[in-house]
Amino acid sequence: MFTAFKDQFPNILMLVEIILILPLATATVERGFSAMKRVKNDWRSCLETDILNMLLRITVNGCSFDVYDPLRAIQHQWISGQRARRPDFTRNT
């Protein structure tokens, strides 16, 4: 259909294509607003846009707690940064 009438009705066919792509429900948007309400509460209302965006992406697209292994994140946090973490602590490796 799109190729047969492409030359005669280019604007109408573009409109039809956009309508076919639009979601029929707003459940995804509502889940996003609920996630933002959980992330950005009264205690964390001054989050920067970048941090809020990252936290929302993790909340919406992240894996469950059963699957997540925090060891890699803990090791990265331990060795990165401009100053030493807990300088009096000696690790037993």
- Any domain includes 92: no
pLDDT digits (tens, 9 = 90+) for 22-78: 777 788 888 888 988 888 887 777 888 898 899 888 888 888 888 888 888 888 877
Structurally, the chain folds into a number of domains equal to 1
Contact by Cβ (8 Å): 53, 60: no
* pTM more than 0.75: no
Structural domain harbouring 41: 10-79
CA 70 to chain centre: 18
Alpha helix (H) residue ranges in the chain: 10-21, 27-39, 49-61, 71-79
pLDDT of 93 > 60? The answer is no
Report how far apart, in Å, the C-alpha atoms of 20 and of each of 14, 27, 57 are.
Answer: 10, 17, 26
49 falls within a domain? yes
